[in-house]
Amino acid sequence: MKIERRSRFRSRYAAKGGPVWEGRGLGESFVAEDAGHRLEFRANGRRRFVLLVDGLERMDATRADDAWEVRTDGESFELRPQSRWRHSFDVLTAAGEKLGAVRRSRGSVVCDLPGTMASDAQTFIGLVALSLWKRSAIIASAAATPQG
């Protein structure tokens, strides 16, 4: 699944056949409408992301050491950076087996995950990765700004 940037000047992303996610704030919050339901992806502190459907929590990702534990509809996954310098993550099962990967590609997010995984779960994992990349870019640009 590929989550593509839909606007050059606004933070809008969408997967093929999925809703358009409109970015809010500094890139750690996205809102969409799908089949009459309000979807909201947002950071809940620095160590947690949630997906709300009509105000009810449906999925979450929590920081655990150097990885993120992702819980979706009764399944658990681990999102682990492939390396400190690469913009990609491995997606592991709860048993630690590699399921696939998530990577950046020219402003888009590519989720190389099995087709049997629900598209909303893939989208959630992709939005978590996108938010982490944006967070990293903000931190890097702040560190590069001269103080004075």
Quick: pLDDT tens for 89-105.
Answer: 999 998 999 999 999 88
CA–CA dist 60, 52 (Å, integer): 9
Structure confidence by residue, pLDDT tens digits, 119-140: 999 999 999 999 888 877 666 6
Q: What is the token pair recorded at 85?
A: 């310098």
Structure confidence by residue, pLDDT tens digits, 14-41: 988 889 999 887 667 899 999 999 999 9
pLDDT of residue 5: 87
- DSSP per-residue codes, 96-110: S-EEEEEEEETTEEE
Tally of CB atoms within 10 A around 114: 9
Is the overall model pTM greater than 0.85, yes or no? yes
143: DSSP letter: H
pLDDT of residue 26: 64
| Residues 123, 15 contacting (CB under 8 angstroms) | yes
Among 18, 48, 117, which Cα is nearest to 77's? Answer: 117
